[in-house]
Amino acid sequence: MRVYLEGDSAAAIRLVVFNDEAEPVVFNRTMLLGPNLSGPGGPLPLSAEPGFDDPALDDIALNPGCFYGRERGWTDLPPGEYEVTAWLTGDGGDASLVAAPLRVRAA
């Protein structure tokens, strides 16, 4: 399974979880953090999805070749360089899959 970011401006950044394995995989969508933005004014709050009342509903099953993701955008940012990060945490709370950081510029 891979986690990666795509986009070329802070207006639209996508976080993608792609199952490149031969078997289905299951992960908890509330453990997927990002896209997260940090820039001249410091980091913005982490992007995460709220959980359901029934935690079993937070599990996402991906068949081989399938993906899950979210898109976030930031407008009206002060000009400057920004770094976008994302990761999927494991059961112990440690980052188990980390996306390569993405650098974008706001004009």
State yes or no: pLDDT of 9 exceeds 90.
Answer: no
Q: What is the pLDDT of residues 22-68, one digit of tens each?
A: 999 999 999 999 999 999 989 999 999 999 999 999 999 999 999 99
Residue 60 near residue 26, CB atoms below 8 Å: yes
Cα(first)–Cα(last) distance of the chain, in Å?
34
* pLDDT value of residue 67: 97
The residue among 8, 17, 107 whose CA lies nearest residue 62 is: 17
**Res 91: pLDDT:** 72
Instruction: Return all residues near 33 (Cβ < 8 A) that are at least 6 apart.
Output: 46, 47, 48, 86, 87, 88, 89
% of residues, the chain, pLDDT over 90: 84
State mean pLDDT over 70-99.
89
pTM of the predicted model, to two decimals?
A: 0.90
How is domain 2-106 classified at the architecture level of CATH? Sandwich (2.60)
